[in-house]
Structure 1
Amino acid sequence: MIYRSGRRMLRPDKVRVKRFGSRWRGLDPAEVYAYLRALADELDRACQAESVARLEAERLRHALGEWRSRHARCWFVDPQRRTPPGTPNRGPW
């Protein structure tokens, strides 16, 4: 199960299209928009990394479930009770 916060996430496309009003003695628009482009690119990379991490986590979750189902009936065997090599397999498996 994946949990998310109730807040809306800031997406790269929203940062790229954001426009600001102009004011007298305001900030340099070219500098602001260059910063926003860099921020949007960084957000894009972070979103892609998150997507890859979620896929990997799901793959591992699935593999662990398969491993658990295959080994559900296995249990620890005391090494002293194990059969010597070359004898028929009479273990608890």
Structure 2
Amino acid sequence: MAQVYRNGRPIGTGRPHRPTPHEVRTHEFDPRRRGLDAEQVRAFQRHLADELALLHQELRALHAENTRLRQALRDWQATHTRPAPDQFRNNTGHW
């Protein structure tokens, strides 16, 4: 499902926003007088973005495997199902 945005915010999906690795890498923090070490924040962002990239890659692989297994199951079911008996094939009953 495609993500729909209005005013920079996702809408109408019914699911929480999932940050992308790019969004994590490029997120800007507000400057503070005694804020955090900027290099530590950037290092954490890089680490988190790399983790997200691996998770996205794993999710795509699992989706592909799921699709392959569903198709294999359908193929197996098609070759191993018995045809319906004649009494059901030529049913002329009310229902």
State if a TM-score over 0.5 links the two structures. yes
CA-to-aligned-CA distance 1:10-34 (integer Å, 9 cap, x gap): 1111101101121111100100010
Structure ranking higher in strand proportion: 2
Deviating more after overlay: 49-58 vs 21-30 = 21-30
Query: Is the aligned partner of 1:28 residue 2:28?
Result: no
| Equivalences, count | 71
Distance (Å, rounded) in 1 between the aligned partners of 2:14 and 2:73: 26
| Match among 11, 33, 37 for residue 20 of structure 2 | 11
Relative contact order (alpha carbons < 8 A, sep ≥ 6): 1 or 2 greater? 1
In structure 2, list runs of 5 or more residues that go unmatched: 1-12, 84-95
2:65 — aligned with what? Answer: 56
Of structures 1 and 2, the larger Rg is shown by 1
CA RMSD of aligned residues (A): 1.6
